[in-house]
Copies of this chain bind each other. A is one copy, B any other.
Amino acid sequence: MTTRKSFGSDNHAGAHKAVLRMMSLANEGDAHAYGDDPWTERVARDLCGLSGARAAYFVFNGTAANVLGLSLMLRPYEAVICAETAHLNVDECGATERLLGSKLLAVATPDGKLTPDLVATRLGGRNDEHRAQPRAVCITQVTELGTCYSLAELRVLREFCQGHDLRLYIDGARLANAVAHLDCTVADIAAQADVLSFGGTKNGGVAAEAVLVMAEDLLGAVPFQRKQLLQLASKMRFLAAQFAGLLEDQIWLRNAVHSNLMAQRLATGLGDLPGVSVVQAVQSNAVFADLDSRISGPLQHDWGFYVWDDQQHTVRLMAAFDTAPDDIDAFVAAAREASSSRV
């Protein structure tokens, strides 16, 4: 492994020290298992306070949060409308289809964001028994392309869903970065969803995500779905403690503000280089850029990041909570050098 900072993913980073410290604090004496313990109760309550949720549940990873959240809304003949780029659609090995039986109705988008018009293109065939019935809309906030829905966009989408008998689920693996970008509260976003996830892992956790249930009528099934979907931790306090660490002193938000800032610094540094063009709005901790192959070659040799699209030479560069300004500057310098030496 290189000692250079990875731009490959925010999950290449380790855990925030507050997270590990809180796990150590939670490791005192016995506790009842499966969530019937004071840590879980307190942290779930805090998350409800933060988001306005009726209940908060911990699971192990983001794919699980998505499947659990959607399990509350769907019967197997009901379908999920999502962006073609949705993690649900491309990066979860078909977990939703297998575990819920539900079809995904994916829509191409320019920026990873659904709109009422785009959702409407997949609403055909309602009440036709030959068609999987659209029942939920899944959006990602921050999207997989690093973009954010504005609060106004969320409200419009939510109203459309309510007007069309559709539930709204938000995959919030990077929700903190959206809150930071929009300078809003978690509750501002959560209010538009029936269920959402609030990602802990990429924000500095070890392995913990919260599922926040906003809609009262969806609560009853959660414990059973969580257990049957392999997400019930016996020593639950250690999942709660990770969030306790992130919630302490608003570390979750400070981590997000910081990584967003690092992405801005990166975009700014790259933005005026010949052979580089930033291709998505930088509204979180990600920068998507098209790189001239004479630039991407040397950079790929020395640095870790993903080539998002081979054809377009698009790369994804992710900042994490522990990315330092120096890391950014070093990367930009390398890019600048590659840019200037191409002929």
Q: A interface vs B, CB < 8 Å?
A: 1, 3, 5-6, 8-9, 11-15, 17, 20, 23-24, 26-34, 37-38, 60-64, 67, 75-77, 79, 90-95, 97-99, 101-104, 125, 129-133, 201-202, 206-207, 221, 223-235, 237-239, 304
Contact = CB atoms under 8 A, between A and B. Distances in A.
A232 to B, nearest CB: 7
Contacts of A101: 94, 97-99, 101
A14 B1 contact: no
Given A77-B225, A130-B93, A225-B77, A61 B230 contact: yes
Contacts of A103: 94, 97, 104
Given A201-B235, A235-B206, A228 B93 contact: yes
A31 B8 contact: no
A14 B27 contact: yes
A63 B232 contact: yes
5 contacts: A13-B30, A14-B27, A14-B31, A206-B235, A207-B235
A5 B31 CA distance: 10
A246 B129 CA distance: 28
A225 B76 CA distance: 8
A94 B67 contact: no
A67 B97 CA distance: 15
